[in-house]
Amino acid sequence: MWRLRECQLNDEQLSAVIGLSSGAIRNRRTKPDLWKLSEIERLATYFTVPTTACLQINQLLHDLPNRWVEMPEGERKRIERLLSVRRSQFNTYNLTDWPVRHLLKMHQVLNMAQS
């Protein structure tokens, strides 16, 4: 995101680069938690920043529903409660795109649970 702040492109030019409307770019500049995972990956690609983290997160998010099937029900329910995302909602985000605000919230909750 720091590259975005240093970027000399205006909202219209940046919208052409990553495929969002200039209004969406303007909105995301003021509210960074509105970015979605695929948009972050396109930004990273444009700014030639490694996309490894985006790819790994995306893979984990798509693998987790399969892991839930194998988990004991009590453990699965505990994780669903911790993440505050129901399985149906989780699957929907996997099909559409993950808002960064949900990823950050899940990260914080899981870090606190491990402490």
What is the mean pLDDT for each group of 10 consecutive residues in the chain (115 residues)?
A: 76 90 92 92 90 92 87 87 83 93 87 75
- 68 neighbors 62 (Cβ within 8 angstroms): no
Output the pLDDT for position 35: 93
| CA quadruple 62, 65, 70, 73: dihedral sign | positive
Output the pLDDT for position 27: 93
